[in-house]
Structure 1
Amino acid sequence: MAYFLQMITLFQLVCTIIVIWKLQLWWQTEDHLLLTPKVWDGIDAYGYVGFMFLFCFKMTPCLSLPFTVMNTIALCFTSIWPNPPQLDVHKSNIPNICFRVVTRGLYKKLVIRTLEKNIETCLKTGLEKFNFEVVTDCPLDLCTSVFVQEIVVPKTYATKHNSKFKARALHYCLEKGISNLCEDDWIVHMDEETLLTQGSVIGLANFAAKGMGDIGQGVITYANTEIINWWTTLADSVRVAIDIGLMKFCFQKLHRPMYGLKGSYIIIKCSVEKKIGFDYGPKGSIAEDLYLALEAWANGCKFNFVEGEMWEKSPFTIIDYIRQRKRWFVGRMFTILSPTIPLKYKLLLIPADLSWLLLLFNVVTMFVPLKTPQVLIVINSWTGGLIVFLFMFGSVQSFSLKRYGFRRKILICVCNVMIIPLVACLDGIASLWGFFWNIDTGFYIVQKEHISYENANEAEV
């Protein structure tokens, strides 16, 4: 069944690319009703300077070519319809797993509620040796539990290189006498709103017991709990598709973080984390997850993929979505520009982030008439078709058929394709905002608790 679904998916990808290619050819026909030969000439219509600028922006999809090629290979040679993970080891052979949650301490109810659900999931799965560490800037006074340890980071604490934000808190846990973990224990990094599933617990247990790598990462989905903002949830579906395809291929087949690492759903051996640390300085602290990945890669660590998925929520507002992406872009840019990480570990990140920076210009110039070479048409069609496919595939993987039904799921996929230009504009605005303004404002954290959660929680009590 999985093989059949894989073939259907690849067929859909090819069809999508062909459709985009046909649309490009139609748009570039000289007898197009909206265009004249003079406009197609470019130089006569826009002048030499205007033509050169326009042609350069038309070439920006070429920067995405490595990303496009890698994604296509990943979709062809990676199992993108896996069966639910099964526990392959005896429970007594599973080492201790510490789930480390970092928070500023602003959402106490959310932290408590998430902890209770995650502990229940671990117990239901049959995990025997586990604990939760809540690392917080502000004391939360969590209820005493054999599974939970609260670590408060002192305001006076400073690392050697003056790391900030989440990196500072994580590095504090590595200081002598702070955490009780042993060298052979495993640490799972999660955000304060991240929910475990039984599949992810099984995947983590298999990874740790088998020693499948030094660092692992799994898939996070954003539509399995209450949806607060449909726009941002649909926009995040492409991340799910990239996780299932590209990230899984890089981690499972290549054992390298070619395109980095997400900050949540990371499993890392305690001894490895102590060796690498999180003291990356102020600029390296904005995207500490990417810095960790590249540092670990440079130090010869082996990466692998974790089966099973965890659940999170998309940003609650459009402005939070933009600010989140802005922080990601700024953090990635600082990491790429860091002289401490050799260039060879950043070769695929550079064109990808340049493409992100120029994304808004690419969207605007997409509708400006100008004849382009056939090679560029093929590249544009390949890249555009892949993006459309990833949004559709991400929707299929994110939204449960049992929960939404067949008709609503088809409608969601169609709506997701329709908002691609909006998503591209929002991501483009975020990158330009981060590049030109307020480049060092800090670590923006999106709103993570909604009034409906509080009401639901009070109703339960």
Structure 2
Amino acid sequence: MARRRRRALRPPRTALLALLTVLVLAVSLSLYPRAWTLQEFGLGAYLSVVWTLPTLLSVMAVIGAIQARRSLTRPRDVDVDSHADNLLIVQVPTIGRTDVMPALRRVVASMERTIPANFSRWRVDVVAEESSEARDELEALSSEHVRVLYVPAAYETPNGTQAKARANCWLDELRQQEGESREDVWVLHMDDDTGIGPDTVEHVARFINANPADHRRSKLLAQGVLTYPRQFSSNGLVWLADAVRPGSDLSVFRLWTGGGRPLLGAHGELLLVRADIESAVGWDYGRSLSITEDANFALLFATRYPGRSAWIAARCYGSSPESFADLVKQRKRWARGLLHVAGNPAVPLHNRLLLKYALASWVLGPLQHVFVVLGASALLGLRYTAPVQPWILGPWALNLGVGLWMYVEGLRANAHASGGPAPLRYRFGLLLIPFFTLVEGYAGLRGFVAFVRDRLGWGRSELFEVIAKTHEVPASQGGSRAT
């Protein structure tokens, strides 16, 4: 138990968030101009809008971070049994290419090693396409508790769903045929590069025991935190850029999933759903909504089962992209898919507004990025990039403080998942945050262009671009520590 306590998620440092915001505000107030030119005022008016736009998201992040800290410092499930009698099915879709097999082998090994401590009945279903190129390597994963399944090439859904969502449809139908779409069966969705650890399984078991099917208000869906151990990622700078993801899970996503309505931030790994509820919601969304099927599932769930989701203090262990080109490809796909989800008429508009708002802040990123603004100011000979009223510096300071905090706190979470504090070079690497946010904004803008092409009927490009996951984790690097 001592090892599990040491490996547990650390509460986010909300005091650091407040400190960063105050520091930014103090510096900004000291630099506020006393006089303007007409051109400077015009730029200030523009910035007063676009740099203030994310303020609501920042407020949500603050509230979510406070809630995450409270959940981790005063857990409510300490008296809940950590061994569950329910059947746990871990679902791992994979494209089955040779360049993803190193990560997949690590993922399956982590499950075989950790799940038996908390579940007597469990199974891992690895599902790939019938035409997968790595059939021999996939078959080698089979064991007493691991099934390797193949979606038939001829399988089609009524709505023409593709990619990972198609595999989810097929597996859900298979569970219904096998009589496993029941109240006492839970499905844990994982990616082929994202493993689990003892802490993950313990929190999953406690959540299941705390939410029995015979309780009217039991939670039906749960999600935890994505972390990225350094030893699972081949590129240190990309790993540093990916720190924003656990930072988001520990703040704004905690607010919404933990509040019972996963309207923002649901992801396809560490997604725990009761099997009968998953069948009721379904995965057959059609081609465009297959790009980010997890977000569409979450919005449909929030619509049909309001108040029934939860945030758990569980953590999973994934791999960051292997290059910035792969990171852009990944984020572009997310932006493109989420824009389609935000326009899905099957979800009531009031449940899509938050996603629309968040996407507006993302895809406009390059047009409001500090590098772009400062470059334009220099070309035009402008001295100031300030809002038209000094009180607007308050929201600006909050937005910048939250943005910095997400990277700092995300790096801390990733380093802890790696087995120790972040080396000094990575802490100094946080000075590259403006570059990282520019990459994120550029990818979001490219996703928006792809979305527009889809809507115009020109978007017949690859639907689900799977990035390579070739990085091996030698035992000498301590890869087994995290999982």
Instruction: Name the TM tier (shorter chain).
Output: 0.7 to 0.9
Letter in structure 1 aligned against 2:37: D
CA distance in 2, matches of 1:60, 1:182: 47
Structure 1 position 339, deviation (Å)? 1.6
Counterparts of 2:417 and 2:301 in 1: how far apart (Å)? 38
- Residue in structure 1 matched with residue 480 of structure 2 by the alignment: none
Q: Does 1:164 align with 2:150?
A: no
CA distance 1:425–1:122, change in 2 (3 Å): same
Structure 2 counterpart of 1:210, one-letter code? A
Per the alignment, residue 197 of structure 2 pairs with 197
2:85 is aligned with what amino acid? I
Decide which moves more: 171-180 or 60-69: 171-180
Per-residue deviation at 1:409? 4.3
Question: Equivalent residues in 2 for 1:23-422 (5 A)?
Answer: 23-30=27-34, 40-43=36-39, 51=42, 55-79=45-69, 82=72, 88-89=80-81, 91=83, 93-106=84-97, 107-123=100-116, 125-137=117-129, 138=132, 139=135, 140-176=138-174, 181-184=180-183, 185-211=185-211, 212-223=218-229, 225-252=231-258, 254-301=259-306, 302-363=308-369, 364=371, 366-367=373-374, 368=377, 369-372=384-387, 373-400=389-416, 403-405=419-421, 409=423, 411-416=425-430, 418-422=431-435
For 1:253-281, what per-residue CA distance to the aligned partner results, in whole angstroms no more than 9, with x for missing partners?
x2111313011100000000111110011
- Conserved? CA contact 2:88–2:186, under 8 Å: yes
Secondary structure of 1:348's match? Answer: helix
**CA shift at 1:453, angstroms?**
6.2
The residue type paired with residue 105 of structure 2 is: I
- What amino acid is aligned across from residue 131 of structure 1 in structure 2? R
Q: Structure 2 CA distance, aligned partners of 1:448 and 1:249?
A: 31
- Read off the aligned partner of 1:9 and give its amino acid letter: R
Aligned residues between the structures? 433
Of the structure 1 ranges 337-346 and 284-293, higher mean CA displacement relative to structure 2 is found in 337-346
Q: Does 1:22 align with 2:12?
A: no
User: Per the alignment, in what secondary structure is the counterpart of residue 13 of structure 2?
Assistant: helix
By how many angstroms is 1:245 displaced? 2.3
Q: CA distance change for structure 1 residues 226 and 166 in 2, over 3 Å: closer, same or farther?
A: closer
Q: Which moved more, 1:267-276 or 1:304-313?
A: 304-313
Distance 1:182 1:161, change over 3 A: closer
2: distance between equivalents of 1:56 and 1:319? 31
- Cα deviation for residue 228 of structure 1 reads 1.0
Cα drift, residue 413 of structure 1:
3.0
| SS of structure 1 residue aligned to 2:25 | helix
Instruction: Supply the distance in 2 between the matched residues of 1:233 and 1:244 (Cα, whole angstroms).
Output: 18
1:447 lines up with 2:468 in the alignment: yes
Q: Distance in 1 between matches of 2:410 and 2:476?
A: 31
Shift of 1:425: 0.7
Superposition deviation, residue 444 in structure 1: 1.0
Contact 1:142 1:150 in 2 (8 A): no
Alpha-carbon distance between aligned partners in 2 of 1:164 and 1:453, rounded to the nearest angstrom? 35
The answer to whether the Cα contact below 8 Å between 2:13 and 2:69 also exists between their aligned partners in 1 is no
CA distance in 1, matches of 2:419, 2:188: 29
CA 1:151–1:454: 2 relative to 1, 3 Å: farther
Aligned to 2:3: none
C-alpha distance 426-401 of structure 1, shift in aligned 2 (>3 A): closer
Preserved CA contact (<8 Å) 1:41 1:370: no
- Extract unaligned runs of 5+ from structure 2: 1-5, 212-217, 378-383, 478-483
Q: CA separation of 1:260/1:191 partners in 2, compared to 1, >3 Å: closer, same or farther?
A: same
Q: What secondary structure sits across from 1:24 in the alignment? A: helix
TM (normalized to structure 2)? Answer: 0.82
Instruction: Flag the 1:385–1:42 CA change in 2: closer, same or farther, 3 A.
Output: farther
Q: What is the letter of the counterpart of residue 63 of structure 2?
A: I
- The whole-number CA distance in structure 1 between the counterparts of 2:418 and 2:444 is 37
Task: Measure, in 1, the Cα distance between the counterparts of 2:263 and 2:80.
Answer: 28
Contact persistence 2:232–2:473 (CA under 8 A): no
Q: Determine the structure 2 residue equivalent to 1:34.
A: none
- Out of 417, 431, 436, the position equivalent to 1:423 is 436
274-283 or 16-25, which deviates more: 16-25
CA contact (8 A) 1:57 1:365 kept: no
Q: Deviations over 1:312-345 (max 9, x none)?
A: 0100000000010000000110010112211110
Q: Please state whether the residue corresponding to 1:29 is helix, strand or coil.
A: coil
Between stretches 75-84 and 21-30, larger displacement belongs to 75-84
- Aligned mates of 1:11, 1:310 — CA distance in 2: 26
**Identity over aligned residues, as a percent?**
22
Distance (whole Å) between structure 1 residues aligned to residue 192 and residue 170 of structure 2: 18
- Structure 1 stretch displaced more, 337-346 or 17-26: 17-26
The Cα offsets for residues 77-114 of structure 1, whole Å up to 9 and x where unpaired, read as: 432682698682263x5301000000011134543342
For the structure 1 residues 401 and 292, does the alpha-carbon distance in structure 2 shift closer, same or farther, using more than 3 Å as the test?
Answer: closer
Deviation at residue 191 of structure 1 after TM alignment = 0.5
Larger CA deviation: 12-21 vs 420-429: 12-21
Aligned equivalents of 1:452, 1:148: Cα separation in 2 = 21
Q: Which runs of 5+ in 1 are unaligned?
A: 31-36, 457-461
Question: CA 1:431–1:348 in structure 2 vs 1: closer, same or farther (change >3 Å)?
Answer: same
Partner of 1:33: none
Cα–Cα, structure 1 residues 453 and 317, in superposed 2: closer, same or farther, change >3 Å? farther
Q: Which amino acid aligns with 1:16?
A: L
SS in 1 for 2:54: helix
Distance in 2 between residues matched to 1:113 and 1:18, nearest whole Å: 43
Amino acid across the alignment from 1:226: F
**Structure 2 vs 1, CA of residues 455 and 219 (structure 1 numbering), >3 Å: closer, same or farther?**
closer
- Structure 1 residues 432 and 410: alpha-carbon distance in aligned structure 2, compared to 1, 3 A threshold: same
* SS of structure 2 residue aligned to 1:174: helix
CA distance in 2, matches of 1:104, 1:453: 24
